Amino acid sequence: MFHTQSDVVFIKGLKVDAVIGVFDWERAITQPLLIDIALETDISHAAVSDDVSDALSYKEVCDDVSEWCKEIQAKLLEHLAGQISDKIFAKYDCQKITLSIAKPTAIAQADAVGVQITRYAPASTDELATKEDAKEVNVSQADDA
């Protein structure tokens, strides 16, 4: 499926207190995280219908991401970011995610430190089947030549 629109639902500055870090003292406390998420998704149905049931719920995404941060208790921000993006793709209809997670209290001399990742939705079963069919056609055409 080709997407010609670049619609984005975004969340900026989601604040979550969670266990994060590699040191023993970090495993015994919660630390603040600031999370920004951009979800590339088709909003055209909601734009026409003006019906919330046609929209990707940023409230639900915020609630889920907050819960996942608390459940995962990652040592590394890299791991947490990867886990969150996997969970978002599994639950929500989006084609691309850009996610940043910052620890604002980790380094006294910096406003924040953190990671940013961009991930693309895994190919669906239908897309994989279409690609396999195309390969078979190309192979059979090459055999006929």
**Can you tell me which residue has the tokens 């886990």?**
83
Judge contact between 36 and 14, C-beta under 8 A.
yes
- Of 114, 113, 109, the closest CA to residue 99 belongs to 114
pLDDT tens for each residue of the chain, 145 residues long: 455 568 999 999 999 999 999 999 999 999 999 999 999 999 999 999 999 999 999 999 999 999 999 999 999 999 999 999 999 999 999 999 999 999 999 999 999 999 999 999 998 656 555 556 555 555 555 555 5
The model carries a pTM of 0.82
The CA angle 70-36-87, to the nearest 5 degrees, is 50
Domain 8-120 class, CATH top level: alpha beta
Structural domain boundaries in the chain: 8-120
- 144 token code pair: 């006929």
DSSP 51: -
Partner residues linked to 82 by β-bridges: none
Closest CA to 58 of 94, 105, 20, 24: 94
